Chain A
């Protein structure tokens, strides 16, 4: 569609009210939070009207926080890796199915996206608990019971479950764009199934996989419900840390600092992704 060159007034009249609302409820609160992160804090008197960098310094020097950040990154990276390892082949398998199976299974794989994270996490806490199905199965097979709940394993398992659709969707979309005959063309030129996959299908799926990976990584690193319900008190991640600072410690400036760091990291990832997509588009578009 070629947008109609037009006056300034009409589009702003249309979008103006919404824009005002969004400025007031997105940009303003974010700006206030950035300012808040520089406010000094005193445990007995609360937020001070003096400004300081001490929260940022504390967060990047204190081993306690660094450990939580390291854990957050580790868990997010592991989740991303596993999601890719499961999601990419699954998307490929789905794309090779015939309808109606293809639509049905696609629905089953991406449908849970619409089920509340609390519900899904609760399901995993039942499966992974000391008396859960997984432990019962292990005992049936003659293994000793393992403690899974309240470990990083539990968090990763549930996060993979929550994030899998975000990996399947972009890879599936990328594979949909691929002419199914392209793979057949590679076979007729002498490529084995594996070579055709590696040389022809994978390069097409890569962009979808990268896009999926960034979404999964970003969402995992800021996930709240899963670590809050499956990590217990000790295993904090960035989001649960912010929650505790705000609603338990009541140290809002410190909480704001961590939230801003999470946001900045997220935006960096998105920017890097856009750069990469553009570079790639330039390469193939010429």
Chain B
């Protein structure tokens, strides 16, 4: 039995189904992200786990205990809110101590645990400040300390980094992971940022209009997206629509008269399919030397890499190559595109070409 499990959990607001039949089992100590565009039901799912929203159907259990209808103040879960929801009239130390106070922890122990929690998030010097005197990143860490100090069995993070600027967000990702590793608390994070989800989670749950569509480790999610939506939502990709052709020796998809070889599961001849290939899996070579010829339409220098758009008979393809320190083909020049057939993937769900 998983540590935290959701069984066929649904939430309806009137006629609108925000979350539909979510089944999720999370092991102790795991860091799981709920990833999806806004309105996909990920925050509602988190709020149902926190007890702030009551599920319409289904069952939530924690460590074998049914908590589906338990009040939020009895669950003992740590929640970090998107807005941080710090108590504006209390100092940092008072904010962090609040949960311990509610648990009637004696004063001496309380002080000690607040001190430890603030040390963990590296805010010891700010104990007597008020939230409004802190920067966004500091408030964020107060919120984490406040949620962790009560030693919750599960830590819930609702878009914890969305209010921070890009540079700080990256720092806080590592910080969050460091803290989580150190404390070992089972953690669920809601985010709409795929890079964030991929970089810090053990597993990522992708949600689309109220349903879970794929649950996988970040690497597998990226390499084997189960549908076109995920392949374009998680990272960049080139999607090619074509028809499946089964030959004797080789099989592949025919697109605009070109047959692209790819190893693929059993698919009947003539089935329409969508192929996906990541920009960084395509190599640029001399015209005529690759599997496909094209012309550089535009190129962008991104520092660590170059991003190309290449006009090909199959349409515009996006290609990214690492910056090797020398200038790549100029705009307008003819190039060849090459790739390993294993990297050209058939997307199971060919209906939703994004």
Instruction: Please list the residues of chain A having a beta carbon within 8 angstroms of any beta carbon in chain B.
Output: 178-179, 181-182, 184-192, 195, 199-200, 203-204, 284-286
Contact = CB atoms under 8 A, between A and B. Distances in A.
Contacts of A195: 102
B87 A186 contact: yes
Contacts, number: 75
Interface in B119-178: 129-130, 132-133, 146-147, 150
B83 interface: yes
Contact of A204 (B88, B99, B150): B88
Given A184-B72, A188-B51, A179 B85 contact: yes
The A interface is mostly helix, strand or loop, or mixed, namely helix
Interface stretch (B23-31, B74-82, B110-118, B197-205): B74-82
Interface in B19-57: 50-52
A192 B73 contact: yes
Interface string B93-104: 000001100110
Contact of A189 (B52, B71, B99, B133): B99
Contact of B129 (A181, A184, A187, A286): A286
B89 A284 contact: yes
A188 B73 contact: yes
6 contacts: A185-B81, A185-B87, A188-B52, A189-B99, A199-B98, A284-B89
Contacts of A184: 50, 52, 72, 79, 81, 85
A183 to B, nearest CB: 8
B86 interface: yes
Contact of B85 (A182, A191, A203, A204): A182
A199 B130 CA distance: 16
Given A199-B87, A284-B88, 14 more contacts: A179-B83, A182-B85, A184-B85, A185-B146, A186-B98, A189-B73, A189-B150, A191-B73, A191-B98, A191-B102, A192-B73, A195-B102, A204-B88, A286-B133
Contacts of B87: 182, 185-186, 199-200
B84 to A, nearest CB: 8
B85 A284 contact: no
A200 B87 CA distance: 7
A186 B146 CA distance: 10
B89 A189 contact: no
Nearest to A203: B89
CB-based closest 8 A-B pairs = A190-B102, A189-B99, A185-B85, A181-B85, A187-B72, A188-B79, A203-B89, A182-B85
Given A182-B86, A182-B87, A187 B71 contact: yes
Q: How large is the interface on B (under 10, 10 to 19, 20 to 34, 35 or more residues)?
A: 20 to 34
A190 B76 contact: yes
B44 to A, nearest CB: 14
A185 B79 contact: yes
- The B contact surface, by secondary structure, is loop
A190 B78 contact: no
B52 A187 contact: yes
Contacts of A187: 51-52, 71-73
Contacts of A178: 88
A168 B103 CA distance: 34
A90 B51 CA distance: 26
Nearest to A196: B73
Contacts of A286: 129-130, 133
Nearest to A181: B85
Nearest to B87: A200
A188 to B, nearest CB: 4
Contact of A188 (B72, B129, B132): B72
A285 B72 contact: no
A203 B87 CA distance: 10
A285 B102 contact: no
| Residue of A181, A203, A285 most packed against chain B (CB within 10 A) | A181
A284 B91 CA distance: 9
Contacts of A190: 73-74, 76, 99, 102-103, 150
A184 B132 CA distance: 19
A154 B78 CA distance: 52
A182 B86 CA distance: 6
Contacts of B133: 285-286
A82 B116 CA distance: 46
A278 to B, nearest CB: 16
A189 B81 contact: no
